[in-house]
Structure 1
Amino acid sequence: MRNILLVITILSSLSIFSQHIDPLLANKPEAQEKWVDSVYNQMTLQEKIGQLFIVDVFSRNGQAEEDRIKKLIEENHIGGVIFSKGGPVRQANMCNNLQADSKIPLIVSMDAEWGLAMRLDSTYAFPWNMTLGALENNKLVEEVGYRIGLHAKRLGVHINFAPDVDINTNPKNPIIGNRSFGEDKYNVTQKAIAFMNGMQSAGVLANAKHFPGHGDTDQDSHKTLPSLSFGLDRIEDVELYPYKEIIDQGLASVMIAHLNVPALESRAGYPTSLSEKVVTDLLQKKMGFNGLVFTDALSMKGASNFSEPGDVDLAAFLAGNDVLLISKDIPKASEKLQVAYENEVITEERLAHSVKKILKAKYLVGLNHYKPIETDHLIEDLNSINDDLLYEKVMEKAITIVKNKGDLLPLRDLDKRKIAYVGLGDDSGEKFVNSLQLYAQVDTINTARLDKMKGKLKDYNTVIIGFHRSNDSPWKDYQFTEQELVWLYELSREKDVILDIFVKPYALLDLTTTTNFNSVVVSYQNSEIAQEKSAEIIFGAIPAEGRLPVTANEDFPVNTCIGTNPLSRLQYGIPESVGLSSEKLAKIDLITKKVIDRKMAPGMQILVARKGKVVYNKSFGYHTYDKKVQVMNTDLYDVASLTKILATLPEMMKTVEEEKINLNTKLKKLLPELENTNKGNISLLDLLTHTGRLEAWIPFYVYTLDKKHMPDTTYYRTRPEVGFEVQVSDSLYMRTDYKDSIYQQIYDSKLLSKRKYKYSDLGYFILKRYLEKHYKTRLDTLVQRDLYQSLGANHTLYNPLTKFTKVEIAPTETDTYYRHQTVHGFVHDMGAAMLDGVGGHAGIFSNSNDIAKIMQMYLQKGFYGGKRYFTPETMDMFNTCYYCTEDIRRGVGFDKPEPDGSSSNTCGCVPLSSFGHSGFTGTYTWADPDNELIYVFLSNRVYPTQENHKLITENIRTDIQELIYEAIID
C-alpha cells in the first residue's frame, strides 16, 4: 500500500508535464484523418493487428532474408521493419521490394543513433552522444541530428530510434556509456531536444529512449533484466527529467526499456516495458505523451525471459505500447492478440487507438504517397563533404582540456622544446602523430621496456602520450592496462607530460593520481579528425572549448572546462570550411597529371590555405623520372629564389624595425667596404625593388674551371683539406678563401647605364654579408634562431644533408657544366654553393607546409604561434609597390602583381595587395591578404636539366593559381 501511495504521489506531481500538441499531426489534419480512417476501415482484424509489429531485417543476408520478410508481410500483414546490418544499396533494393509487396506501406525504422554507420557499411558515422555532450553550442547537436535525419530519409527510413536520453550516472554501465550525452540532466536534456529538432526537421521521426531511464544500471537488458533501485524522488528528479522536457517540445515517439524499477512497478521483477503503470499511467496519462510508444526489442532477455513468445507481446500491448518491436514469434504473437480481441481482453477502442496512431505516423512521413528509394548516387549522397565539415566542427568544439598546469597548453616557445610522442593503447595514433609533426619536430619513441623508454626520453623535456583504442563502436574497450598505468606514472614524474586520451572520459577513472600530469586532454574518439583536431588544440591552432559531460576522476568532475586561447598557427581541414570548393580544387590534380605525363617536372608539392587553414596539401609524382622515390608532403625541395623572402628578407625587416637602418639607408652604411665603390650610394629600397642598376648575376663558378670546363684543381679538392672546406657537392670542396673573391667581383661589377627595373641576385649577396657582419652570426644560424625554430618550421634550412637523408630531398639538376654530377642535397645555385651553401638569394630547402607557415606569418602582419616577429607597420612598409607609377611591380623584397593587371608573374586574378616570389628550380609561393589565401608550389622542374622550361612556358604555376581563385565560393 505504501508503494502504491508513493506511485500515486509521483504520478500526480507529473501531471503538469503534459504534451500540449499531437506530435503525429500533419500540416493538413483533415486530409490525414480522412486517409487514416479510410485505410483503417478497409482493414481486416488480422491486418490491424499486423500493423502493431515491426520486424528486424538484415540486408546483408540477401534473398533468404527478403523471402522471410515477404512471408510475414503476406501472412501477418506486418506494419513495419527495422533494418539492421547490411549495406545501403542492398537495403534500398530490399526495401523497395518489400514495399512493393505490402498492401499498406511499411514504416521503416533503424537504430542509427550516430548515423547509418551504426548498422550499415559505406555510410557515415557521426560523433557519439558522449562527444556531443561536450559541446557548448547545441546548434551543432541540432545540425548532427539534421544530417542524420537527411541520411535516413534518403535511404527511405522514417523513424530513427534516437536520441538516447539516458543520464549515464553509472560509469560501469555496459550498454549506454558513450551513447549518452552525459550525467548532467540539464545538459542531456538540451542536447536531446536539439538532436530531436534537427532530425525531425529533416522529416524523420525521433525516438527518446530508454524510458524511464537506463543510465544508472550496471547490467545489459539485452542479456538480463537490469534493476533501478532508487526511490521515486530520485527517479523523478533525474531519470524522468529529460522526458518531461522533450515531450513538451514535440517528441514523436518513446521507447520503453526492459527494466526492473520497484518504485514504479510493485510486482517483483516485472519489466517496465510490460507495466501498465509505467507505459500508460505514467508516460501517457500523467506525462501526457501523445506520440508513438515502442517497446524495446521483445527478443531481448530483459523481456523474453519473462514469458513465452506471444505472451510477452500481448502483455506489452495491454500495458499500453503501440508498437511491438522485434517480436520473437510474430505469427504466434499475432494469433494471441487476435484471440484476446475476440475474447474482449483487447477492445476495439484500444486496438484502434494504437493502429490509428501508427497510420497517422505513416501519413506524417509521406507514406500516403509512397515513392521507391532512388539508388543512383546513393553512396555519394550518404557520404558528402557537408558531413565531413560538420564532423570537423564538432570535434573542434568538443575536445576538452581537463588539466593544464602552468598553462602548458597550447605549446609555446617551440625553440625551447624537444618533444617526443609515446603511443599507448591498441589502435593507431598515426594521424595524431602526423598532425603533431605539422607544427614541430615530434619524435616517436617506441620500445617494449620501460627502462629503455626512459633512456630514450632522456633528452626530451616534453612528452605527449596518446592513448588510442578502437573507434569502431562505443562499446569497445576503453581502459588502460595495468602496465600502461605504471608507464604513465613513471613517465609523468620526470617530464612535462601531456596525456591525450582518444576514448571515453571514464578511462581517467583508472588513474589513482593525476598530480604529475601537466596537461590532460579528452578527445573522446579515435577517429582521424579527432586526432587531427586534438593536435591543433595542443599547438594552439584552435582553442579548447569542450566541457566534460561526465565525472572522469575525482580531479575531473562533470562540467570541467579549461579553455585556451589560440596562437594563430595554421589549422588543417576541409576547403568548404573556409569558402573554397573541393570539387574545383580537385581540378589541380588534373594539371599535375599533365605536368608529370609531359615531363615538365618529375614531381611536386602543392598547398592551398585560406583564412588560416590549410585545405589542400598534396604531393604528386616522384623525385626523378625513374619513379623510384615517391614525393611525400614532408620531402624537401631546393626553393631557389624563394630564399629571398623566406630567409634574408625577414631578417632585414627585423633589422629595419630595430631602427638600425631604414629603406633610404645607403649600402655604404650597411657595409663600409662599399664606400668607394659604385654600389655605395644605392639605397636599400632600390636594392630590394631591383631598381639599383645591378647586373642580373655573375657566373662566379666559370672562373674556377679549367680549359676543359672541369673544376680546376687550383680551386677544388675531392675531399676536405685545410683551406678547402667549402663543399659544393658530393666529393667536391672549394678553396675557403675564394668566397672573398666572390664578393670582390660583385663590388667591382658595373652598373646598368640607367635606372630601371632589373631583377638581380647580387643585392642579396650584399645583404647576406651585411646581416652576418651586423649580427656576427652566419645567416643559416641567424634565421634558424630568429624564425624557423620558433615557427616550428623544422623542415626549413640551409644544407639539408646535415639533418635529412637524400631519400627525403628531391634532387635538382644533373650538372654537366660545373659539378658534373647530379646535385642532390646541395643547393643548385652555383653562387650559393660557393658560399658554403648559404646564400642570401638561394640555398634554402623546405617543403610546402613550412613555407605556408612563413607566408601565414606575413599575412598575419608579423605574428604567428603567439610570437610577434615584427609589427604590422613593418609588414606594410615592405609590402608596398613604391614604383608602380613607373610600371615597376616590385614591393620591397616581395614580388607583386603587375600594376596593369596583366599575367606575367601571376594569373592576373590576384589583388594588388598580394605578394610572393618564384624560384628558378620550379617553385612559387603567393599570399593574398584580401582573400586570406596562401598558395605554395614546389617542384624540381630543372631535373634532369635546367633547359626544361615547359613548366614556365605553359604557365603551370599561375594556371593553378587561377583555379584556386575559381574555387572561391563565398
Structure 2
Amino acid sequence: MKKKLALLLFTLFVSYANAQTVDPLLAKDVEAQNIWVDSILKNMSIDEKIGQLFMVQAYSNLDKKHEDFITEMIEKYHVGSLIFMQGTPEKQAALNNKYQEAAKVPLLIGFDGEWGLNMRLDNTYKFPWNMTLGAIRNDSLIQEFGAQVGKHCKRLGIHVNFAPVVDVNVNPANPIIGNRSFGESKENVTEKAIAFTKGMQSYGVMANAKHFPGHGDTASDSHHTLPVLNFDKARLDSIELYPYRKIFDAGVASVMTAHLNIPSLEPNTSLPTSLSNNVVTKLLQQEMGFNGLIITDGLNMKGATNYATSAEIDLAAIQAGNDLLLIPQNVPASIALFKKALELNTLTEERIDFSVRKILKAKYWAGLNNYKPIEEEHIHEDLNAVEDELLHRKLIKNAITIVKNEKGNIPVTNLENRKIAYVKLGDAENDAFVNMLKNYTKVDVVSDLNLANLSKKLKPYNLVIVGFHKSNDHPWKSYKFTNKELVWLQEIARQKEIILNVFTSPYSLLQLKSFTNIKGIVVSYQNSKLSQELSAQLLFGAFDAKGKLPVSIGENFKVNHGLITNKLSRFEYTIPEEVGLSSKKLALIDQFADTILKEKMAPGFQVFVARKGKVVLQKSYGYHTYEKTFQVKNSDLYDLASLTKILASLPLIMKAEEEQKIPLTASLRDILPSFANSNKETITVKEILSHYGRLKAWIPFYVDTQDSITGENLPTFYSNKKTNKFQIKVAEKLFITKSYKDSIYKYIKNADQREREGYKYSDLGYYLFKEALEVKYEKPLDKLVDETFYQSLGADRTTYLPLEKFTRNDIVPTEIDDYYRNQLLQGYVHDMGAAMLGGVAGHAGLFANANDVGKIMQMYLQKGFYGGKRYLKPETINKFNTRYYADKKVRRGLGFDKPQLNPDVKATCGCVSDTSFGHSGFTGTYTWADPESQIVYVFLSNRVFPHMDNKGLIKSNMRTKIQQAIQDAIINE
C-alpha cells in the first residue's frame, strides 16, 4: 500500500509538472542545461541526493567552530545549499569561496534581502521597505530597484534572494508583514512584485515569492506561533492567491511556503501549510501549475517546530511537495529518517530525484555550471556605489505622499508672510529633517515639556510643521503615537495651521480620531536620513509630489489616494552624479581646501556648488579664526564685501529699470538732481554699471576724519556712545556724526573724474545708487531689498547689520582693524565707507552664508524666477547680463562681472561660458553662475583675517582654481 502511495505521488509530480505554461528554471540553452543536470544526477549517491535538499544557515560573524560545522555539513552530509545570515560582505565572500571549494557540486547560495543586503549584512546599502515602494506609481522604478538588488546579490555570489514579499497586507494589525508588504491592493502588490522579480532575475538571481499561500491577513507571527487564516477558498482565490497566479505567469523562479493554519485548505489544523500536501502539491503545483523551485520558510520557526521533531518536519515537508528545506535543525537526523522512509517506501528515490533535478536546474540557471570564486577586492565600494544613492533618491521622491492639503500649504509659498515653527513628536532622530528645512527659510525648533508652555511659545507662528519620527532600524518596529502625543497633536492643530509629516508607517494615522484641524498631512514612510531630507525638500516645492497611499487609513483616506503638487523651482539638495558631476573630481576641492588652510590664506571658508537647480556641494572648512575656537558651519555668515553690488543693489536697480524709475539711459542728474551741474551729471546708469563712467576707484573717506599724524579718530567726528549728534554706528562703541553722510556724497560729487576713458572698477557709483533707490522707493536700502527679495526667496541668513538678527558666534570675524576702528570686526562691515554710512551701503555691507548667495544667483540663472515667484523679467536679466562696451575692452555687463577679455586677467578660471556672470569681493568672496553649464558657484571666506594684507588667496587664484575643478567635474554629456 505504501509503495502504491509513493508511486501515486511521483505520478502526480510528473503529470502536473507541465501544467504551468512557464518553466521558470529553464535556461536559455535548455539542451546544455539538461545534459549538465543529467550528468551530475546520475553520478550521485543517495546520500548526495538527500544532501541537496537542505539549505543550511551560515553566518559570517561567528567563530571557527561554526565554520567547521558548515564545512562538515558540506563534506560529510553533502548539503547542497546555504543561506547566509548576519555578518559582513567581506567575510561572507571569503566564506562563500571557502565553502564552494569544499563542495563537490557547487552550492546554491540563498539570502534574505527584501530591502537589499543590509537586511542581514553590515556596511551594505539599505533600500526602502516594500510599504514605501508600494506608494510609487511608476513600476519601472521598482524594476530598477530589483535590478540593483540583483546586481548586489550577484556580486556577492548569491543565487536566490528571498524576495519579493507578495503578501497582501489587508490587516493593519499584522505584526510581521506590515511594512514588508507593498500594501493592501492586490493589483499594486502584484505589479510591484512582478517588476521587482523581472529586475532581479535579469541579473541571474532567482526571485522568491513569499509567503505562500499568503501571510497578509494574519494577526500573529509565524516565527513564534502558527497563525490562523479562517477564510474560505473563494476569499483566498480573490486576494491571497491573486499575486501568485500573476507572478507565476511572469516567470518567478521560486516560491516560499509559509507556516500557516488555513482550515479551508488543510483540514488538519495542527499541520502547517508548509507541510501540507493539499497546499504544496495539490494547490501550488497541480491547481496553480507552479514548476519553479519550492522552498519552505525557515524550519526553525515556531510555526513549524511546534508540529513535530525537526527530522519529522523535514520529511513531511518533502512529502508535501517542497523541493528545498530552509534552515533545517538537525541534518544528520533528517538524513537518517529519509533513509528509513526509503526503506519503508514512504519516500521514493524518484521523488527525491524530482526535487534534486529542479535544484540542479536552478543551479545551472544561476550560472553554477560555470562557477567562479567571488572577487574579494573592492566589495565595499561595489556594494555602496553612487548608483545606489541615486536610485534610493528616486524611490523616495516618488513615494512621499501628500494625504491632505486643505489650505494648499504644501508646498510652502509666500515665505515673506510665514513665521514657521517645527515641533517634534516621536522618539527617533530628526536632525536631517530640521537641518534641511532650515536650508529653505527660517524655521525655529520649538519644544517644551509642558503643553501649555508649548502653546505659548507657538503663539508668534502662523505655520507649524510637526514631524513624527519613529525608528528606522527595521520594518516591524513600533510606529504608534503615544496617548500624550495624540493629545498634543490635536491641541496644536486646534490652535495653529499645521503640516503633519509622518516618518513611519501610514498605519500610524489610524490612531487619529479626527483629521479636521490638521490641514496638511505628508506620509514619508520611513525615518531614514534621506527620507527626512527629501521630505523637507518636498515641503518647500523642490520637486513635485507623486506618491499614493499603499494602504487605507480607515474611511478617511483610501488606498491609492495621494495628492499631486507641482515644484516651485527652489533648490533641490542632492549628490553630484544626479546632475552630471563627478564626486571624485569634485573631491579635488578638498585638496585645495587643505592648501588654503595650511598656507593660511584664510582661517576658514564655505564652498557651494549647484547645477541644474540642484545643490551638490555645501561644505564648510576650517575655523572662524586661527585660534580654532569655532569651526565654520554652513549656516555661518560672512561679510560679502562687493558681492553686495550684485546681491543687493543690482536686483533693486533691475526692478527700478523695469518700472522705469531708474532707466538705464537716465543720467546721474536724472536720478539724483543734486548732481546737476557737477562733472558727473551726464554719466548714465548704464555707464556706471559697466564701470565705464570715469569714476575713481574709491575714496578713503575715513582718512579725513583722523589725525594726520597719529591716525587717531578725531572727537569732532566720533563718540564712543550714541548721542543726538553721533547717531551712526560705525562699529562697537564707535559712532560717527550723523552729518557726515552728506560729506561723503559731497566728496563724491566734487571728486575729479578720470581723464582717460575706459574701464575702471569703482565703488563710488553704488554709493549713488543707494541714495537714488532710497529716494525713489522711500525706504532704506536694507529694508527695501529684504522685503522685495530676501524674505520671499527664503534668504533669511542674508542681511545688513547682522548683529541685529544673529548672535556674534553666527558671524565669522572679518579683520582685526588696527587702522580705523581699532577692534576685531565681527558683524560690522569691513568696508570703511560702508561703515561710515552705518553698515548699509550699495557697494558693501551685506552678510550671508553661501547657501543664500546661491539662491539669489539661481534666481538670476532662472531668468528672474524662483520659489514659484517671478522677481524679474527674463528680458531684464538678459539686458543686464550683456556687455555694452566690449569694443572698448570692458568685460563687465551691467553690474555683473563677466569672463575676462584679456587672458592675462584672472576674473574667472577661463573655463566658463561667455554668457556667465558673477562678482568677487575684497574680503575673499566670489560667486559665479553659468547659463550654459547651469552651474552656480559660491566661495566665501575671511581671507583678510587677521589683516587685509594677507593676499595669499588672491595671488594663488585659489577661488578660480576651485571653479576650474568644478567645471572639470562635468561628466561627458
Q: Output aligned runs, 1:845-856, within 5 Å.
A: 845-856=847-858
Q: How far apart are residue 27 of structure 1 and its match?
A: 2.1
How far off is 1:93 after superposition?
A: 1.6
Question: Counterpart of 2:880?
Answer: 878
Q: Determine the structure 1 residue equivalent to 2:720.
A: 718
Do the aligned partners of 1:887 and 1:898 also contact (CA within 8 Å) in 2?
Answer: no
CA deviation after TM superposition for structure 1 residue 657, in Å? 0.8
Distance 1:712 1:19, change over 3 A: farther
In 1, are the aligned partners of 2:730 and 2:828 still within 8 Å (CA)?
yes
Q: Quick one: distance in 1 between partners of 2:662 and 2:635?
A: 37
Displacement of 1:877 in angstroms is 0.8
Q: Which residue of 2 aligns with 1:5?
A: none
Answer yes or no: is 1:441 the counterpart of 2:446.
no
Residues 17 and 287, structure 1, Cα contact 8 Å, conserved in 2: no
Q: Work out whether residues 427 and 471 of structure 2, in 8 Å CA contact, stay in contact via their aligned partners in 1.
A: yes
Choose 80-89 or 281-290, whichever is displaced more.
281-290
Distance across 2 between alignment mates of 1:123 and 1:885: 59
Which residue in 2 is equivalent to 1:4?
Answer: none
Q: Distance in 2 between matches of 1:942 and 1:210?
A: 67
The residue number in structure 2 matching 1:698 is 699
Match of 1:137 in 2: 138
Aligned positions of 1:604-753 closer than 5 A: 604-706=605-707, 707-753=709-755
Q: Report the counterpart of residue 3 of structure 1 in structure 2.
A: none
Give the residue type in structure 1 aligned to 2:769.
L
Deviations 1:134-159 (A, max 9, x none): 00111111111111111111111111
Q: Give the letter for the 1:359 counterpart.
A: L
For 2:23, what is the secondary structure of its paired residue? coil
What letter matches 1:33 in structure 2? Answer: N
> 3-state DSSP class of the match of 1:169?
coil
Q: Which moved more, 1:133-142 or 1:56-65?
A: 56-65
- Quick one: structure 1 residues 955 and 103, their matched pair in 2 at CA, closer, same or farther if it must change by over 3 Å? same
8 A Cα contact 2:759 2:889, kept in partner: no
User: C-alpha offsets along residues 174-194 of structure 1, whole Å, 9 cap, x if unaligned?
Assistant: 000000000111111110011
| In the alignment, structure 1 residue 39 sits paired with structure 2 residue 40 | yes
Give 2:238's aligned amino acid.
D
Contact 2:758–2:888, Cα closer than 8 Å, also in 1 = no
Tell me, in whole angstroms, the C-alpha distance in 2 between the residues paired with 1:852 and 1:721.
Answer: 39
Matches within 5 A, 1:522-921: 522-706=523-707, 707-899=709-901, 904-921=906-923
In 2, Cα distance between the equivalents of 1:232 and 1:903?
82
Assess if the C-alpha contact under 8 Å between 2:653 and 2:662 holds in 1. no
Q: CA RMSD in A?
A: 1.4
CA drift at 1:849: 0.3
* d(CA) in 2 for partners of 1:577, 1:553: 38
Distance 1:815 1:18 in 2: 89
Q: Which moved more, 1:814-823 or 1:757-766?
A: 814-823
Worse-matched range after superposition: 282-291 or 46-55:
282-291
1:749 CA drift (Å) = 0.7
Which residue in the other structure is 1:373 paired with?
374
* Identity %, equivalent residues: 56
Native 8 Å contact 1:19 1:250 kept in 2: no
- Maintained 8 Å contact 2:695/2:753: yes
SS in structure 2 at match of 1:424: strand
Q: CA deviation at 1:104?
A: 1.4
Q: Which residue of 2 aligns with 1:29?
A: 30
8 Å CA contact 2:803–2:827 kept in 1: the answer is: yes
Question: 1:901 Cα deviation (Å)?
Answer: 6.3
**Residues 417-460 of structure 1, C-alpha deviations (whole Å, 9 max, x = no match):** 11000001111111000000000100001211101100110111
Higher deviation after alignment, 273-282 or 191-200: 273-282
Alignment of 1:136-155 (within 5 A): 136-155=137-156
Whole-Å Cα distance in 1 between the matches of residues 673 and 920 of structure 2?
31
For residue 61 of structure 1, give the secondary structure of its aligned residue in structure 2.
coil
1:360 Cα shift?
1.1
| Segment of structure 1 superposing worse, 553-562 or 575-584 | 553-562
- Tell me the CA shift for residue 902 of structure 1: 6.3
1:17 shift after superposition: 12
Q: Which amino acid aligns with 1:861?
A: K
Q: 2:548, 2:561 within 8 Å by CA — same for their partners in 1?
A: yes
Equivalent residues of 1:511, 1:553 under 8 A apart:
no
SS at match of 1:239: coil
Shift of the alpha carbon at 1:95?
1.7
Offset of 1:664 from its aligned partner?
Answer: 0.8
Name the amino acid aligned to 1:54: M
1:1-400 equivalent positions in 2, closer than 5 A? 19-400=20-401
Question: Is the Cα contact below 8 Å between 1:18 and 1:248 reproduced in 2?
Answer: no
Amino acid at match of 1:760: S
Q: How many angstroms does 1:805 deviate by?
A: 1.5
Q: How many residues align?
A: 957
Change (3 A) 1:66 1:822: same
Deviates more, 1:609-618 or 1:812-821: 812-821
- Give the whole-Å Cα distance in 1 for the aligned partners of 2:662 and 2:729: 34
TM-score, normalization: structure 1?
Answer: 0.97
Contact 1:665–1:684 (8 Å) recurs in 2: yes
Q: Distance in 1 between matches of 2:46 and 2:847?
A: 81
Kindly provide the amino acid, as one letter, of the partner of residue 418 in structure 1: K
d(CA) in 1 for partners of 2:644 and 2:659? Answer: 22
Paired residue secondary structure (2:855): helix
Q: In structure 2, what is the Cα distance between the partners aligned to 1:29 and 1:680? A: 92
What SS class does the counterpart of residue 89 from structure 1 fall into? Answer: helix
Answer yes or no: is the 8 Å Cα contact 2:169–2:184 preserved in 1.
yes
Letter in 2 for 1:728: V
2:676 maps to amino acid? E
| Matches of 2:76 and 2:964, distance apart in 1 | 64
Residues 927-946 of structure 1: pairs in structure 2 closer than 5 A: 927-946=929-948
The question of whether the paired residues in 2 share the 8 Å contact of 1:639 and 1:843 is answered with: yes
What does the per-residue CA deviation read over 1:297-354, in whole Å, with 9 as the maximum and x for residues that have no partner?
1111111111122111111101110001111211111111122123222223211110
CA positional deviation for 1:60: 1.2
* 2-structure distance, mates of 1:39, 1:76: 17
The question of 1:958 aligning with 2:944 is answered no
Deviation at 1:133, TM superposition (A): 0.4
- 2:949 aligned partner: 947
The alpha-carbon deviation at position 18 of structure 1 amounts to: 5.8
Cα contact 1:604–1:937 (8 A) shared by 2: yes
Structure 1 residue matching 2:642: 3-state secondary structure:
helix
Task: Please state whether the residue corresponding to 2:918 is helix, strand or coil.
Answer: strand
CA deviations 1:739-766 (Å, max 9, x no partner) are 1100110011111113211000000000
Residue identity opposite 1:758 in structure 2: K
Matched to 1:781, the amino acid is K
Q: Report Cα offsets for 1:537-565 as digits up to 9, x if no partner.
A: 11111111101000124211111110111
The amino acid across from 1:944 in the alignment is P
Aligned equivalents of 1:322 and 1:735: distance in 2?
94
Query: Displacement, 1:21?
Result: 2.7
User: Which residue type is aligned with residue 686 of structure 2?
Assistant: L
Task: Tell me how far 1:519 sits from its aligned partner.
Answer: 0.2
| 1:184-238 alpha-carbon deviations (Å, 9 max, x no partner) | 1111111001111111112211000001110011010111111111121111111
CA distance in structure 1 between the aligned counterparts of 2:22 and 2:488, rounded to whole angstroms: 57
Cα separation, partners in 2 of 1:749 and 1:469, compared to 1, 3 Å:
same
SS of equivalent to 1:266: coil
CA–CA distance in structure 2, aligned partners of residues 566 and 674 of structure 1: 47
Conserved 8 A contact 2:315-2:338: yes
User: How many angstroms apart in 2 are the aligned matches of 1:889 and 1:391?
Assistant: 44
